[in-house]
Amino acid sequence: MTGADTTIQSGQSPYARRTWRLAHGRTMELGPRGHLMGILNVTPDSFSDGGRFAGIDAAVAAAEGMVSDGAAIVDIGGESTRPGADPVDAATEQARVLPVIEALSKRGDVIISIDTYRAETARLAVRAGAHVINDVWGLQRDPEMAALVAALGAGVCIMHTGRERKKANDVMEDQALFLRQSLEFAGAGGIGQDAIVLDPGFGFAKDVDENVELMARFSELHALGYPLIAGTSRKRFVGAVSGRDTDERDVASAATTAMLRLEGAAIFRVHEVAANRDALAMADAVVTQRNMETRI
């Protein structure tokens, strides 16, 4: 298996067809149109929907609703990543997520992502039916994670974070420093390039100005050479800009989806799927038209 390339891969359009390789023999085509990843937090304390989907039946019903509304991926998390959240142990996290993954995997049509930075939780989740490992610490928290991802043949979302580290002064320089380090871990662990998408980590130890600048300069991330995922949904900076409380930020969140699709993002991690589906459809129509004009 070819390891991840940490050099800049320039020249490829973010809308060109790419195959994202996932666990259990699944793949997803990225590029020509955007995809939605529905957020399913089976936790009591997540910042937006904590406690709503704590039971298996409620969680599976919510996931099925997301798929019906247009989500291609459901991202299941058992530990809140909001600022100041109390950490949980691996056993608690696994008790929350594994039954939901097992139940949802019986559908067969949905791609399941496990939101964890623990290798053991990731291993059990993939065994239960998950296809993607979404690591908010960019493979840099658990030293076993990269090799595990490779061994499982899973897709991986490698996220940037500014937590517990000294950041570079420039937003994009810090993105490059952290994500290139993560890609070195990926390469050393044997993860193939076609298994990787990168996430700039909106909201993770970034203030309002940094998040807005990250949106404004988002296209610079394509220099890293990998498909990009955007997770702006209901984040604090969206509330600061729009003046809306957490549960009133879906319109503004959908606006960020449309804007970032036009900047080349491939996947959008969202709470409210239907509104983002419509925003993404409009952005994809513009992307298609631009690509047609380019070929004329």
Per-residue pLDDT in tens (0 to 9) along the chain, 296 residues: 334 443 334 568 999 999 999 999 999 999 999 999 999 999 875 445 545 556 788 899 999 999 999 999 999 999 987 776 778 999 999 999 999 999 999 988 899 999 999 999 999 999 999 999 999 999 999 999 999 999 999 999 999 999 999 999 999 999 999 999 999 999 999 999 999 999 999 999 999 999 999 999 999 999 999 999 999 999 999 999 999 999 999 999 999 999 999 999 999 999 999 999 999 999 999 999 998 887 65
Catalytic site includes residue 166: no
The full DSSP string for 98-149 is: HHHHHHHHTT-SSEEEEE-S-HHHHHHHHHHT--EEEETTTT-SSTTHHHHH
SS (H, E, C) 139-207: CCCCCCHHHHHHHHCCEEEEECCCCCCCCCCCHHHHHHHHHHHHHHHHHHHCCCHHHEEEECCCCCCCC
Q: What is the pTM of this model?
A: 0.92
pLDDT in the model for residue 11: 65
Catalytic site includes residue 52: no
7 found inside a domain: no
Catalytic residue, candidates 21, 96, 118, 235: 235
Catalytic residue, candidates 118, 206, 269, 277: 269
Q: Do residues 69 and 254 touch, judged by C-beta distance below 8 A?
A: no
Residues whose CB falls within 8 Å of the CB of residue 61, separated by 6 or more in sequence, listed in order: none
Structural domain of 103? 18-295
112 found inside a domain: yes
9 found inside a domain: no
pLDDT in the model for residue 87: 82
26 found inside a domain: yes
**CATH classification of the domain holding 176:** 3.20.20.20
Q: How many domains does the chain have?
A: 1
